[in-house]
Structure 1
Amino acid sequence: MDTTGVLDEALQRLHGSGPERWGRLTNHAPMVVEALAARGRADSVHRWLDLYTHRLEDFPSGVEPVTAANWRPALGDPRRAADWIDHFGRALAERPWREVLAEWWPRLLPGVHGGATHPVIRVGHAVRTLLAGEATGPRLAELAHGLGYWAARHHPVPHLAALPGADGAAAALDAVEPLAEQDGGFDDRLGRVTGLPVWTAADAVTDPAEAHRRLTELVRAATHRYATHGHGEPTMLVHAATAPNAVLRTLPALPRELWVPSLRAAWTASAAVTAMYAPRAPVAYAPPGTFTPEEVLEQALAHGDEHVVKLTDTALDVGGEQALAAALRCVELSEPLT
């Protein structure tokens, strides 16, 4: 983890900005700067931010403080983002961060789809930093921003029918049927998802250690799948891998009794994104040569797109040639940051 102070500087620089722009597009900068710092590229953080700055908006105004007495009606209200972030800032100033996270994780988990899964991904990056190093003020503030964004964009889905699935994660993702109408925004598409395949091996899990193993399997399968299916929607299909990986990164900070429900929520999120954006047929893909993890990270950084960097970060967690191929495919399919 970064010990140069650059990550804290970057987070302080970013906390004057809101979690979104135009009321719908996520601010990815905090997640990217954490990924770069975690991968030993703190030297590139401010240069990348300079390119991204034009996509930031000022921090929004508050409406009314969120309290222990009134938080339920405020859940899922995007107008209350500032109120929620302030609420978590106060909570994290008063109590240990793991305690606050453990209290709110089961409350927020049913709404993991909110904000196109970006809030849980932001929380996963924040937690990785806190687990790896000192709980500095900017890093705690980043957790408050992530949790607050999640609470404001909290979006549960109604009961989903259990469709025929498979035992392994890769086969279960292959069993996901793409939506017949793949148009509209994330929320429009999510409303059309009425059923998802059962991932049999995960559905019956009761042991926390097995939940961790199955979640690792899901992240690996979704990352590998991007190489052959990412052309369906190069940006949004990244989240089929990065959302469950955010949950996986958070597990060590959570009580073990929360690991099994976390696995199930992560599967639902990954499978739903797959249904909403996956193409009807895969396309064979082979990378143009053999590359080391460091070389793939360098390509992602040179490209600059936030989703490319974040999928590469997840691919490096997964490891292996297939994961690196997925990251390189994302570089090919995505528009570079300019």
Structure 2
Amino acid sequence: MLFSILLALLNGALIGTSRAINGQLSTRKGAFGASVWNHVVGFVFLTAVLLVLHTWPDASDVPLAAYVGGVFGALFVAVNSYVFPRLGAMNAAVLVISGQVLSAVAIDCVQQRSLPAPVRLAGVALVLLGLCLPRLTSQRGKKGDPALSERELIDDLLDDRTYHIEFNGHLTNHAKHAVVALAGLGVPARDIKAYYDDYAKLTSYGYGLEPPKPDRHTITEENWRRHLGQRTSFWSYCDFFDQRERELGLDEVLRRYVPELLPGWTGAFTHATIHLGWALDVGHRWMAIEGLAYMAFSYATCHPERALPSTGKDASPADSLLRLAAEWEERRDELAHWVAETLADTSPVDRGEIHPELLRSGLQFRIARTLSEGHPLFYDTPAWVEGSDDVWEPLYYAVTLLYLSQPADFVLLHLITSLHAMEQIALRLPEDVRRDAVRCFWIGLLGTVFSGGGFPRRAKLAALHELFAHAVDGGSKEEDWSTIVSRAVIEEEEHNPKLVHVLRRVWARSGRRAVFRVAAGQFTATPDLPPSFEEPPTA
């Protein structure tokens, strides 16, 4: 009897382990794919066992209906594989076991044509209560500590794995970025949850989020570089970085892998970098894992290896913008022709250097193509890149001037939110690598601006610089910020609360420089999608 009890306990442990393994397999092969492979491997294993035992089951006297159990078994594995990565092992196990207990009671009632004895019903109730007790205790703890409840709800949203990182081909799932921004602006967690759910159903682009996509490859230490930018195996990259983080710790993972990922920081229109940097800012492990995976998945290099040593030009990023604006005015026809000629050449797509899905995007292709071709102006390293350690605030100032020169520009807004991400990433890297992060950001910024076929007028940049260089907000500006924040949190376009979240923080830490408050109120609109979106995605 004792042996049977121990065997049953062992079987339960094997079932729990099997569910977890199948859940990981489903993120790569899909729920039904995981079920297929589960049963194929099981069939091969049982066949081998029967051959060793020199026996084979006799099916001659078994009614046909008895084989329906095989269908239920396949569905059981498929459903388990689907829910385990989404609900977590504990939650999924509690629900599955509860369903098994209740169905067992129902089957006994049907077979015995009577209700089970009261003692047995009481036992079932105690089992169900025991299964649910940890959840009930957790909920009671949340009610007793509202702050804990708020934090846990935000963490749950950032830990959610229900949706793929992109939808409709290459459009980024911004939901978690919005969660971080809205939480930073003081929005209650329940309202953030409602926003998250609404966004999942219908984004500002008119499409809903999509479930996780099966992977084509298993990512390992040996092949992770080989699949950079191939957009095939996001969840396998997540598994890879998740495992490495468990082995090495997040700091060591960042130190080992981020330097090789930094050149691709503009991939996915900077959103992969935003995902990682903002996760590091709020200290959320799983979102950081996703960010690393997304940077690998969408990698498109800006070629920092082409950068030349500094020739001493420009004491600050603002000086660099003014110099480049003057270059554009002097060489407008030449530079505009270079951009147009570069973008007309799609041969890098044919050669596999740029993913074909980016052609469908239009914008992402323009940025990737401009950076793949490169222009000498991108690689003329300014003095400030290799100079003072205090480079971040001058960079924020310059990028914000750029945004104010074309207020509400959707593309330039991303340079502000991604700069915040790049700073958070760089702060967690060794000091000698931080300069590389700044260099990559500057090259990517220039490629992004050039890809639009123009550059802000020097006179406008100079006027803005003169207006804001020393402008500091005096007195109380909290009412102004309250208005800006109140507008941002009701915006359907999630880039606006992200803009306000970043610039309000920079405003506070910079000594209340007015330029950041003024720019924070310049909201953007969701751009119209190009006609290419009528074509099906290639990824």
- Name the TM-score class by shorter chain: 0.7 to 0.9
- Bigger mean CA deviation after superposition, 296-305 or 275-284: 275-284
Q: Quick one: structure 1 residues 100 and 56, their matched pair in 2 at CA, closer, same or farther if it must change by over 3 Å?
A: same
1:261 to 425, 436, 440: 436
- Partner letter of residue 241 of structure 1? I
Q: Quick one: structure 1 residues 241 and 86, their matched pair in 2 at CA, closer, same or farther if it must change by over 3 Å?
A: same
Q: For residues 32 and 91 of structure 1, what CA distance do their matches in structure 2 show? A: 27
- Bigger mean CA deviation after superposition, 89-98 or 63-72: 89-98
Deviations 1:26-73 (A, max 9, x none): 111111101222333243311221331123111111222211112121
Q: For residues 248 and 281 of structure 2, what CA distance do their matches in structure 1 show? A: 19
Shift of 1:335: 4.4
Shift of 1:78: 0.6
> Which residue in 2 is equivalent to 1:315?
503
Q: For residues 63 and 216 of structure 1, what CA distance do their matches in structure 2 show? A: 42
| Identical positions, percent | 24
Shift of 1:79: 1.1
TM-score, normalising length: structure 2? 0.53
8 Å contact from structure 2 (residues 318, 398) kept in 1? yes
SS in 2 for 1:166: coil
- Bigger mean CA deviation after superposition, 255-264 or 140-149: 255-264
Q: For residues 90 and 99 of structure 1, what CA distance do their matches in structure 2 show? A: 13
Shift of 1:160: 5.5
Q: For residues 317 and 270 of structure 1, what CA distance do their matches in structure 2 show? A: 21
1:62-81 → structure 2 map (5 Å cutoff): 62-81=215-234
Q: How many residues align?
A: 314
1:204 to 386, 391, 398: 386
Q: For residues 192 and 32 of structure 1, what CA distance do their matches in structure 2 show? A: 29
> Which residue in 1 is equivalent to 2:404?
227
> Which residue in 2 is equivalent to 1:334?
525
Query: RMSD between aligned alpha carbons?
Result: 2.8
8 Å contact from structure 1 (residues 91, 100) kept in 2? yes
1:325 to 518, 521, 525: 518
- Partner letter of residue 296 of structure 1? I
2:256 to 103, 106, 115: 103
Shift of 1:117: 1.3
Q: Quick one: structure 1 residues 248 and 298, their matched pair in 2 at CA, closer, same or farther if it must change by over 3 Å?
A: same
Structure 1 runs (4+) deviating above 6 angstroms are 161-165, 283-286
2:242 to 89, 95, 116: 89
> Which residue in 1 is equivalent to 2:18?
none
8 Å contact from structure 1 (residues 229, 279) kept in 2? no
8 Å contact from structure 1 (residues 85, 144) kept in 2? yes
1:1-338 → structure 2 map (5 Å cutoff): 3=148, 4=150, 5-13=152-160, 15-43=161-189, 44-53=191-200, 54=202, 55-130=208-283, 139-158=284-303, 166-174=314-322, 175=324, 177=328, 180=336, 184-193=362-371, 194-195=374-375, 196=377, 198=380, 200-205=382-387, 210-211=388-389, 213-230=390-407, 234-277=409-452, 280-281=456-457, 282=460, 292-319=480-507, 320-329=513-522, 331=523, 333-335=524-526
- Bigger mean CA deviation after superposition, 243-252 or 271-280: 271-280
Structure 1: state its 5+ residue gaps: 131-138
SS in 1 for 2:427: helix
Q: For residues 85 and 59 of structure 1, what CA distance do their matches in structure 2 show? A: 12
TM-score, normalising length: structure 1? 0.83
- The structure that is helix-richer by fraction is 2
Deviations 1:250-281 (A, max 9, x none): 23322222211111112122222222236544
Q: For residues 92 and 38 of structure 1, what CA distance do their matches in structure 2 show? A: 26
Q: Which structure has the higher relative contact order (CA within 8 Å, separation 6+)? A: 1
